[in-house]
């Protein structure tokens, strides 16, 4: 299973160059390497497994078509996540979807961690509250928060995905965290 925080490598650049020249096996390697990251980002936007799956497929189709324009200024992961973020935002604008909690994600994570049923229920409640708060953030702040906290991108990578400066990324992330803290404080679990 590929590392979630796989760093851009010479190998990625070589694979992208080969894929640009029509080597489908090279492109499939990149898809396998980053499909979980793309799916996760699409899911964080849509909160719907089927939509995230469909969007992920569209992202890689779009990435394959756009390969001639991939210059390698950013890593392949950053480039494909930028496509995923844009595709997800377009999807939300078109459908004006309501986000829904992803309780099953929290439940499976809690079960894997070996928690008791009471701890699992508490984790689900906290997870649902955080999820609901994140879904109420303005899109720019939500994107910054998701890229940093869920995808683990650096500020520079976030700036490349969001098409803005590092300072703007830091500002959006600061405001996202402040808003989340304000929304979660009344529930008693927003000290950090």
pLDDT over 80 (residue 190): no
Identify whether the C-beta of residue 112 lies closer than 8 Å to the C-beta of residue 144: no
Q: What domains appear along the chain, each with residue ranges and CATH number?
A: 1-100 (1.10.1740.10)
pTM, 2 dp: 0.62
pLDDT at 120: 58
User: DSSP alpha helices (H): ranges in 67-116?
Assistant: 76-95, 103-112
- For residue range 12-60, list pLDDT tens digits in order: 999 999 999 999 999 999 999 999 999 999 988 888 888 889 999 999 9
pLDDT at 181: 84
- For residue range 122-137, list pLDDT tens digits in order: 666 777 777 788 888 8
Residue 137 class from Cβ within 10 Å (0-12 exposed, 13-18 middle, 19+ buried)?
A: buried
Percent of the chain past pLDDT 70, that is, above it, reads 78
Both tokens assigned to 71: 């210059």
- For residue range 67-106, list pLDDT tens digits in order: 998 888 888 999 999 999 989 888 887 776 444 444 444 4
Both tokens assigned to 172: 């959006």
């Amino acid at each position: 299973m590929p590392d979630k925080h796989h760093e851009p490598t010479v190998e990625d650049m070589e694979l992208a160059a080969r894929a640009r020249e029509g080597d489908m096996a090279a492109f499939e390697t990149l898809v396998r390497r980053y499909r979980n990251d793309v799916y996760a980002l699409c899911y964080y936007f849509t909160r719907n497994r089927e939509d995230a799956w469909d969007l992920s497929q569209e992202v890689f189709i779009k990435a394959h078509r756009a390969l001639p324009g991939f210059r390698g200024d950013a890593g392949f992961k950053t480039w494909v996540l930028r496509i995923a973020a844009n595709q997800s935002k377009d999807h939300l604008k078109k459908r004006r979807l309501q986000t829904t909690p992803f309780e099953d994600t929290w439940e499976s994570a809690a079960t894997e961690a070996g928690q008791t049923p009471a701890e699992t229920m508490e984790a689900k409640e906290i997870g649902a509250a955080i999820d609901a708060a994140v879904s109420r953030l303005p899109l720019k702040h939500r994107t910054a928060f998701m890229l940093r906290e869920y995808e683990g991108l650096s500020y520079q990578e976030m700036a490349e995905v969001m098409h803005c400066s590092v300072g703007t990324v830091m500002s959006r992330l600061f405001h996202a965290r402040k808003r989340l803290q304000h929304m979660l404080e009344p529930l008693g679990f927003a000290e950090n």
